[in-house]
């Protein structure tokens, strides 16, 4: 009888021990899960913080050059610029804003058109815009409907600028954005010698870079 009691006691102890181990494992898993959830929430909070900071930078530039623009449109533009910086890691708010500022002749007017026919905030040519729209999944109805929409214009223009910077770095990318790939390639191949770029592009690159440097310090 005593032997059976000892046997049952040992079994009970083993069962209790096993339950304690299972409980501890479950507790450890729950703690790990909670820790992971906290990390996710912290990451999301950090992303939100960065997004707000980037949107505020874009809004500050926009308010400087086109304060009369409706506030809802300003928010939509700032949001699209911010989205572009997350989507294209070689772009930041200051560079996009510098490009828009110069391309729109410091007006930030979504309806601006150049003598060559480039349209909207980032001065996208219709043929280029149609090509980019297909890549971005933007429904192309007409040049006016798409390129005069500031959100779509920035989406397409940012895609184009990012692809050129990826090929030629920032200054070469800006040269290609303004004067075309061929001239930019020749310019870089000749160590950025004077006289290779078109006169307009020769002035364009340092002008945008100057704005870029200015916006980065603010």
pLDDT mean by block of 10 residues, the chain; 218 residues = 58 64 67 55 68 97 98 98 98 98 98 97 98 97 98 98 98 98 97 96 98 96
Q: What is the rounded CA–CA span in Å between residue 130 and residue 142?
A: 9
The one catalytic residue in 28, 80, 103, 136 is 103
Structural domains in the chain, sorted by start:
2-217 (1.10.530.10)
Mean pLDDT (the chain) is 89
At 2 the pLDDT is: 43
Is the CB of residue 121 less than 8 Å from the CB of residue 110?
Answer: yes
Which value, to the nearest 10 degrees, does the dihedral of the CA atoms of residues 111, 113, 119, 124 take? -140
pTM greater than 0.75 (yes/no): yes
Please give the C-alpha separations between residue 78 and each of 6, 20, 133, 207, in angstroms, as whole numbers: 76, 55, 20, 22
Q: Is 53 a catalytic residue?
A: no
Find the length of the chain: 218
């Amino acid at each position: 009888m005593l032997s059976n009691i000892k046997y049952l006691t040992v079994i009970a102890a083993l069962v209790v021990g096993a339950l304690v181990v299972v409980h501890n494992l479950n507790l450890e898993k729950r703690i790990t899960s909670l820790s992971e959830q906290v990390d996710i929430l912290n990451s999301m909070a950090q992303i939100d913080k960065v997004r707000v900071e980037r949107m505020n930078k874009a809004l500050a530039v926009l308010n400087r050059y086109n304060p009369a623009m409706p506030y809802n449109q300003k928010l939509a533009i700032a949001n699209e610029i911010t989205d572009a910086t997350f989507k294209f890691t070689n772009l930041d708010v200051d560079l996009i804003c510098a490009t828009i500022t110069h391309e729109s002749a410091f007006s930030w007017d979504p309806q601006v058109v150049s003598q060559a026919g480039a349209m909207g905030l980032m001065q996208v040519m219709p043929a280029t815009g149609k090509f980019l729209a297909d890549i971005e999944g933007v429904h192309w109805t007409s040049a006016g409907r798409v390129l005069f929409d500031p959100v779509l214009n920035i989406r397409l223009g940012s895609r184009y600028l990012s692809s050129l910077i990826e090929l030629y770095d920032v200054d070469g990318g800006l040269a290609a954005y303004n004067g075309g790939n061929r001239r930019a390639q020749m310019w870089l191949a000749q160590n950025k010698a004077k006289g290779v770029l078109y006169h307009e592009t020769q002035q364009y690159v340092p002008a945008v870079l100057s704005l870029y440097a200015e916006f980065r310090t603010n």
